[in-house]
Amino acid sequence: MNGGIYNSDRNNFGPTIGFAWDVFKDGKTSVRGGYSLTFVNEESVTVGSATMNFNAGLSTGATLSNQTTTIGAGISSVPTPVFKPVRTLADQMAISATGSMGIIDPNITQPKVHQVSVGISRELKWGFAGEARYVGTFGRDIWKAIDYNQVAIPQTFLDDFTRARANGFLALAANGSFKPAYDATVAGSQPLTVLPTFGGGFLTHSTVQTNIQQNEVGSLADFYMTSRVAGALAAFYPNGGIYSSVGVTNLGWQNYNALQIDLRSEMRQGITGGFNYTWAHTRANGGGNAQNRLEAYLDNNRPQLDEARSVWNITHLINANVIAELPFGQGKRWLNTGRITNALVGDWQISAILHWQTGSPLSILAPRGTFNRVGRSGNQTALTSLTPEQIKALFKITKLPDGRIFWIDPSVVDPNTGRAVGTDTLTNTAGFAGEVFFNPTAGNVGSLEQLAFDAPATTTMDAAVSKRIRFGRYIFEVRGEAFNLLNSVQFYSGDMNINSTTFGRLTGTTVGARVIQLQARFSF
């Protein structure tokens, strides 16, 4: 793309080198390795278009309705849209309270990937061969769009928010209603000095009350701004002239490290097969958004909060396959005489494929706007005093008498609400016996790393049986195939929000029920 959006990047040299070493000079043991540097096609047109679309007013549409007419009445023309190619931030904000600007770093470079591998392979006895290798892939300068105009909460606002929250819980205890405004008739209620400066604070508005009760100081600041309260934009956003400022940069990265073991055999006495195992670890600071690359940080000052295992990380993976010709018929061990006998019992073949892998990564989330606005808090994790190992010990498939199935110990779920967190309290204390997860407090984020846990493992087995009947140069083959032969249930579980009323429950599957299909083929 060379339309003045960003500068050309024409100094990309991508070398590829490799080696192979016959260690014992007998053709049976080899060590191989290699390195390559490649440059990634980041869908420049797609990303550029998505970024420009953040700038409202650069595209528009015109419609002409009621086009039924007569020749005498004439034909109306479609009006020409009016464009303003040079737009100010004020123009953007006049269109919407959430006006945005998008730009690509003019010095952005093409992302690159370093690939490294080294392995040893050996010819073994009885027709087997084995290989073990290390594979590493390291993505650097990956395109990542972030929001530079992150909500920033002044300490004075946070302090007043805390007072309003205390007022609300005092009023709740005294009168049964959460009212954050100062009330001289409620003992301990404190006057507010900052919130009322934003159009009076809207302290009777249900959204404001909910934000205050749920510690969502970032959401409250965002409410004042999107409601166009005077002074809110300048008070809470670094750039007081725009709501969001999206920039595409080279800030993304990804690391993949894997041990791969492979064992395979040649066809021997009518049997062949293979087995491979992969242990892998993938870590990145994004990668879940494949279109516009917008993966804003939870906190621009702490980018490490968004560093975690990749969404596609699979720690353990096993694949095994076998093909076996039954030992009957011509050229086989048993019943190897006669064409009729061979037509009945010869040329039978069976095969099977086994696949097992650990579950995909998932997060335990508390996506409230306690620090940033809620639109930038989708990956905010929960608060807990447990270690990741203690949480992993809670994972187990449990079926309750009422038919509900959980992938985590149901004792950590409130039996009355189905949530993993109790009712909001002033001091963020446990609301039910067994509670171990909490929502972050105002001005803070959760304590867990993103994507720190695994969904349930999946296992599938497919099998097939076939029979060939030969008529000279003609072949008739009948084949039966079974997918998910054992009809095993493969549960699905994605990220879990502790505020969800179905927290920890398994409600879907990743693999369907067993499927059997039959087919026939005539070859000539």
Q: Residue 72: pLDDT band by 50, 70, 90 thresholds?
A: low
Nearest to 137 by CA among 280, 309, 262, 30: 280
State residue 289's pLDDT score. Answer: 64
Distance from CA of residue 65 to its chain's centroid?
42
- Over residues 95-140, the pLDDT tens digits come to 899 999 999 999 999 999 999 999 999 999 888 999 999 999 999 9
Q: How far apart are CA 242 and CA 234, in angstroms?
A: 9
Q: How far apart are CA 442 and CA 426, in angstroms?
A: 11
* Higher per-residue confidence, 53 vs 219: 219
Q: Residue 1: pLDDT band by 50, 70, 90 thresholds?
A: very low
* Higher per-residue confidence, 472 vs 242: 242
Q: DSSP alpha helices (H): ranges in 53-141?
A: 89-95
Q: How far apart are CA 210 and CA 488, in angstroms?
A: 44
Distance from CA of residue 379 to its chain's centroid?
10
Q: Does residue 190 carry a pLDDT above 70?
A: yes
Nearest to 382 by CA among 450, 311, 472: 450
Residue 100's H or E segment, with its range, is strand 100-104
In 418-495 the beta strands, taken as DSSP E runs, fall at 453-454, 458-471, 474-483, 490-492
State residue 290's pLDDT score. Answer: 62
State residue 56's pLDDT score. Answer: 82
SS3 content of the chain, % helix, strand, coil (to 5): 15, 35, 50
Distance from CA of residue 122 to its chain's centroid?
38
Please state the rounded mean pLDDT for residues 242-262.
95
Q: Residue 85: pLDDT band by 50, 70, 90 thresholds?
A: confident
Please state the rounded mean pLDDT for residues 350-365.
94
State residue 335's pLDDT score. Answer: 79
* Higher per-residue confidence, 271 vs 60: 271
Q: Is the dihedral of CA 52, 57, 62, 63 positive or negative?
A: positive
* Higher per-residue confidence, 48 vs 248: 248
State residue 69's pLDDT score. Answer: 65
State residue 512's pLDDT score. Answer: 78
State residue 78's pLDDT score. Answer: 67
* 76: DSSP letter: P
Q: Does residue 76 carry a pLDDT above 70?
A: no
State residue 368's pLDDT score. Answer: 97
Least confident of 53-67, 142-156, 215-229, 473-487: 53-67
Mean pLDDT of the chain: 91
* Higher per-residue confidence, 72 vs 485: 485
Nearest to 54 by CA among 290, 222, 242, 252: 242
- Over residues 316-345, the pLDDT tens digits come to 999 999 999 888 877 777 877 777 777 777
User: Amino acid letter at 251?
Assistant: L
Q: Residue 9: pLDDT band by 50, 70, 90 thresholds?
A: confident
Q: How far apart are CA 3 and CA 7, in angstroms?
A: 9
* pTM of the predicted model as reported, rounded to 2 decimal places: 0.86
Question: Residues 420, 414: contact at Cβ < 8 Å?
Answer: yes
State residue 287's pLDDT score. Answer: 73
Q: How far apart are CA 470 and CA 459, in angstroms?
A: 37
Which two tokens mark 388? 């990741």
